[in-house]
Amino acid sequence: MSTNTLLILPGDGIGPEVMAEVRKVINWFGENRGLKFDVSEDLVGGAAYDAHGVPLHDDTMARAQEVDAVLLGAVGGPKYDDLDFSVKPERGLLRLRKEMDLYSNLRPAQCFDALADFSSLKKDIVAGLDIMILRELTSGVYFGEPRGIFEEGNERVGINTQRYTESEIERAARSAFELAMRRGKKVCSMEKANVMESGILWREVTTRVAKDYPEVELSHMYADNGAMQLVRAPKQFDVIFTDNLFGDILSDCAAMLTGSLGMLPSASLGAPMANGRPKALYEPVHGSAPDITGQGKANPIACVLSFAMALRYSFDQGDEATRLEQAIEAVLAKGLRTGDLLGAEGGTPISTSEMGDAIVTALQESLE
């Protein structure tokens, strides 16, 4: 396989809309920075269901296992709400995460200076914010057995199981500490050890792993308090380490610190492959946004920032990732805004595609 292979899975709803803008950015790096990507594209989610009757075809799964990085748009939508659970669009994404064993989900929340006024929180609470949520992604209540809807007496019972092994907690904890070592050297672990045995084990294992990282300051917080602290004083955090479900909720919450869910990227990483690169999938934190699909309103920045994370974590191009992040900062500083970023502070309203073009223009300007 040639170098820099990328599998693009646009998915459903605004997924293809935001991915079209990422394509412009990928092409720019190919033409101007000598970063050539061997890009292939395939279906996931409802789009795959429409074509194949399953939300992820086995061939797509196999391809995802081979490439250096997968870039995914979003899956799901009302059209698929009544499908059998086993073929719902979201199952396609969960299969990718599970079979690629992407246990370490990095969800950074950074507040760009130009958006500090726009957050629903006061400017001084979010200005300069730079936190990282490390969400365990392949276990916990999303995958634990037993699960299902069962008959019990004369009614039904819905069951999901929160289950974590020590090794699952440990490997994700190591990712959190490794990240903290390259950042502010603080980890805050969030669980509910006051009511859940899995939380007690989580706390124990995390405390044990911390001994290997004496420079990192570890603290523990119950996840409900964590949610409150995240909106009260988010800058107290550096790395937040948490489980699959709490991480899902806390990261949507963190999104609003940055101004919009349309701003939050993510990287889902697994063990290193033969070429030394980690198994990797990059995707925005947001979903398929059915309420704005097809209207040119979607903010492509979360997806573009996810590609920046791919440059950094899969392709060893940290400087180019920073170039891309700075290009986005420059576009925002010019006052250009998709609808989700427009408020009383004003700004120039632009469409999804105009935002992609503006990012490419700013990239070009970065060379001048």
SS3 category, 269: strand
58 among the known binding-site residues?
no
358 among the known binding-site residues?
no
Which residue, 93 or 250, has its beta carbon nearer to ligand NAD?
A: 93
90 binds ligand IPM (CB under 6 A): yes
Interface region with Mn ion, contact rule CB under 5 A, candidates 146-154, 241-249, 331-339, 350-358: 241-249
The DSSP string of 193-233 is TTT-HHHHHHHHHHHHHHTT-TTSEEEEEEHHHHHHHHHH-
What are the distances in angstroms from CA 73 to CA 3, 13, 336?
23, 9, 22
Strands 130-136 and 155-161: unpaired
Interface region with ligand NAD, contact rule CB under 6 A, candidates 20-28, 69-77, 309-317, 360-368: 69-77
Per the annotation, the verdict on 238 as an active-site residue is: no
Strands 278-282 and 130-136: unpaired
Per the annotation, the verdict on 192 as an active-site residue is: yes
Please state, in angstroms and rounded to a whole number, the distance separating the CA atoms of residues 321 and 308: 5
Interface region with ligand NAD, contact rule CB under 6 A, candidates 99-107, 157-165, 232-240, 282-290: 282-290
Burial class (CB in 10 A: 0-12, 13-18, 19+), 334: middle
Which residue, 168 or 248, has its beta carbon nearer to ligand IPM?
A: 248
Per the annotation, the verdict on 224 as an active-site residue is: yes
Per the annotation, the verdict on 124 as an active-site residue is: no
Q: Choose which of 10, 16, 77, 226 interacts with ligand NAD (CB under 6 A).
A: 77
Contacts of 48 (CB under 8 A, 6+ apart): 42, 54, 55, 56, 57, 60, 89, 92
Interface region with ligand NAD, contact rule CB under 6 A, candidates 51-59, 156-164, 269-277, 284-292: 284-292
243 binds Mn ion (CB under 5 A): no
264 binds ligand NAD (CB under 6 A): no
What are the distances in angstroms from CA 4 to CA 59, 272, 364?
20, 15, 22
Burial class (CB in 10 A: 0-12, 13-18, 19+), 274: exposed
Please state, in angstroms and rounded to a whole number, the distance separating the CA atoms of residues 231 and 228: 6
97 among the known binding-site residues?
yes
- Both structure tokens of 85: 């659970």
Q: Could you tell me the smallest distance in angstroms from the CB atom of residue 323 to ligand NAD? A: 22
Per the annotation, the verdict on 222 as an active-site residue is: no
Interface region with ligand IPM, contact rule CB under 6 A, candidates 1-9, 90-98, 294-302, 346-354: 90-98
10 among the known binding-site residues?
no
Q: Of ligand NAD, Mn ion, ligand IPM, none, which one does residue 94 interact with (CB within 5 to 8 Å by kind)?
A: ligand IPM
Q: Choose which of 285, 292, 302, 330 interacts with ligand IPM (CB under 6 A).
A: 285
Binding to ligand NAD by CB under 6 A, coded x per residue (else -) over 289-328, reads xxxx-----xx--x--------------------------
Q: Which of 12, 238, 243, 248 is catalytic?
A: 248
Angle at 168 between CA 162 and CA 172, to 5 degrees: 110
183 among the known binding-site residues?
no
146 among the known binding-site residues?
no
Please state, in angstroms and rounded to a whole number, the distance separating the CA atoms of residues 231 and 233: 6
The DSSP secondary-structure symbol of 45 reads T
Residues that bind ligand IPM (CB under 6 A): 76, 90, 93-94, 248, 285, 287
Residues that bind ligand NAD (CB under 6 A): 14, 18, 74-77, 90, 93, 261-262, 283, 286-292, 298-299, 302, 340
Q: Residues marked as binding for NAD(+)? A: 77-90, 287-299
Catalytic residues: 142, 192, 224, 248, 252
Q: Residues marked as binding for Mg(2+)? A: 224, 248, 252
